[in-house]
């Protein structure tokens, strides 16, 4: 079953994080049936679900699993400490459409970190 959100997306982010860990979470992902699974530049496994709440909002729940990440990389726990445990991020993203173009964007607040996330649809 396909959903209106299905497609290939360019993922980009900006964060207020100023710690020593180099985050490489940007890249490309493919949403199928409201779900996606991908590895980022640090080999963190991201499993995400996208649920349309209404015409303009999408609930995103992402579980980042760093258990197989690069040896020099850890995620940041809610309290700011480095961790190799999975971390769950939730956000309601704004959904914008113009013709066949689609973009989801929003803010994720996790502990003291704020991430601005944008997923721009680049293919079907």
Domain-embedded: residue 2: no
The residue segments making up the domain with residue 33 are 7-123
pLDDT in tens, 9-25: 999 999 998 877 788 88
Domain-embedded: residue 108: yes
Residue with tokens 């699974």: 37
Domain-embedded: residue 78: yes
> Is the pLDDT at 79 greater than 80, yes or no?
yes
Domain-embedded: residue 61: yes
Domains in the chain, number? 1
Give CA–CA dist 91/95, Å, rounded: 12
Identify the pLDDT of residue 44.
Answer: 96
Bridge partners, residue 55, by sequence: none
Residue with tokens 């003291």: 112
Contacts of 15 (CB under 8 A, 6+ apart): 23, 113, 114, 115, 116
**Interval 81-93 mean pLDDT:** 95
């Amino acid at each position: 079953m396909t959903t209106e959100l299905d497609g290939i997306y360019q993922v980009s982010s900006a964060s207020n994080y100023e710690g020593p860990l180099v985050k490489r979470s940007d890249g490309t992902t493919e949403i199928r049936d409201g779900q996606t699974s991908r590895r980022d530049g640090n080999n963190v496994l991201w499993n995400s679900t996208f649920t349309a709440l209404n015409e303009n909002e999408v609930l995103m729940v992402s579980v980042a699993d760093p258990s197989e990440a690069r040896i020099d990389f850890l995620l940041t726990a809610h309290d700011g400490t480095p961790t190799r445990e999975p971390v769950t991020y939730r956000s309601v993203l704004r959904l914008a459409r113009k013709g066949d173009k689609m973009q989801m964007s929003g803010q994720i607040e996790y502990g003291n970190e704020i991430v601005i996330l944008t997923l721009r649809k680049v293919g079907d």
